[in-house]
Structure 1
Amino acid sequence: MSQITVERQHTLGREAARARAGKLVEKLQSKYDMQAEWEGDTVELKRSGITGQVAITDTLVRVEIKLGMMLSMMSAMVEAEINKALDKHLA
Structure 2
Amino acid sequence: MPELKIEREHALGLAGARTVAERWREQAQQEWGMTCASEPGETEDRMRFERSGVSGQLTVTSTRFDLHLKLGFLLGAYSGKIEEKIRANLDELLGPVA
* TM > 0.5: yes
Aligned 1:22-33 pairs, distance under 5 A = 22-33=22-33
Which residue matches 1:66?
Answer: 70
Listed as ranges, the gaps of 5+ residues in structure 2 are none
Listed as ranges, the gaps of 5+ residues in structure 1 are none
- Matched residue pairs, number? 91
Which residue matches 1:48?
Answer: 52
TM-superposed CA distance for 1:18, in Å, is 1.3
Please give the TM-score of this superposition, normalised by the length of structure 1: 0.97
Q: Which runs of 4+ in 1 moved over 4 A?
A: none
Which residue matches 2:92?
Answer: 88
Percent of pairs identical after alignment?
34
Please give the TM-score of this superposition, normalised by the length of structure 2: 0.90
TM-superposed CA distance for 1:32, in Å, is 1.5
TM-superposed CA distance for 1:67, in Å, is 0.1
TM-superposed CA distance for 1:24, in Å, is 1.3
